[in-house]
Amino acid sequence: MATATAEAAEDTGAAAPAARVAHVSKSFPSPGASGGDQLVLDDITLDVAPGEFVTLLGASGCGKSTLLNLVAGLDRPSAGTISTDGRPALMFQEHALFPWLTAGQNIELALRLRGVAKPERRPEAERLLDLVRLRGAHGKRVHELSGGMRQRVALARALAQDSRLLLMDEPFAALDAITRDVLHDELTRIWRETGLSVLFVTHNVREAVRLAQRVVLLSSRPGRIAREWTVGIPQPRRLEDSAVAELSAEITEELRREIRRHGRH
């Protein structure tokens, strides 16, 4: 279960990590009559520093989303511990907006759940919509918004939770390439403006390299940390930048090796 780490940081004099995953494993009951448990994550240890942008990368089924759900507190690890600096905000691949509410009302709902007083909700929702470049969209219904606009509203709603840690589970995977490219720029801008820590799950290698300060590759099941890369390419980055392409090729080859290794077992 996620707990704050401020006291531990005080004891050591160091800044608390935004998230700390220590020797975490996760098993689920195996389907069928055979019984037993299936090990999905095995001995994962990972820190996300304050203000750091980390991407989790790996083949489908390697446990990326499972790990994110554990950090979010939606499930408990079978072994190990997870701590976070406050409650994380979570953004999914699907926008999960309430269609009977306007864009602004979706954000105001998150503010109300956070305990923000009613007179303050509308101005704060307007500010967050402006932050995600949707000024004037407060009264628009979900069906009036494009896919990219819906994800911007979902991002604004996540930011309304006033968390210092944003967890993102393939939030742009369903969008077309141009919209995804634009939202990469917007997310990078917002991350730099707010100083948020971000843990971002993706299966897209170039997306991981474009966005992150650090890329963490998980092996196929059971998911283990296979390798990490520090991304020293200056922001803003483009998908077509030669440095992004070069590092993406290196990571892709490592990912292929992991997939082939798993296929031999």
Q: Does position 12 have pLDDT exceeding 60, yes or no? A: no
The confidence score (pLDDT) of residue 194 equals: 92
Residue 119 belongs to a domain: no
% of the chain residues with pLDDT over 90: 76
Q: Does position 186 have pLDDT exceeding 50, yes or no? A: yes
Residue 113 belongs to a domain: no
Could you give the CA distance from residue 171 to residue 205 in angstroms, rounded to a whole number? 15
Residue 135 belongs to a domain: no
Radius of gyration of the chain (CA): 19
Domain that holds residue 29: 1-88+197-265
> Stretch 73-99: mean pLDDT, rounded?
91
The confidence score (pLDDT) of residue 8 equals: 41
Task: Convert the pLDDT of each residue in 172-183 to its tens digit.
Answer: 988 999 999 999
User: Which of the two residues, 260 and 167, has the higher pLDDT score?
Assistant: 167
Could you give the CA distance from residue 204 to residue 201 in angstroms, rounded to a whole number? 9
Q: Does position 32 have pLDDT exceeding 70, yes or no? A: no
Residue 112 belongs to a domain: no
Split into its structural domains, the chain has a count of 1
Residue 217 belongs to a domain: yes
Residue 19 belongs to a domain: yes
User: Which of the two residues, 246 and 265, has the higher pLDDT score?
Assistant: 246
Residue 151 belongs to a domain: no
Per-residue burial over 130-139, b if 16 or more Cβ lie within 10 Å, else e, is: ebbbbeebbe
Tokens 């935004």 sit on residue: 18
Residue 250 belongs to a domain: yes
- Which of 24-33, 34-43, 44-53, 177-186 has the highest mean predicted lDDT (pLDDT)? 44-53
The confidence score (pLDDT) of residue 178 equals: 92
CATH number, residue 235: 3.40.50.300
With bands split at pLDDT 50, 70 and 90, how would you rate the model's confidence at 34? low
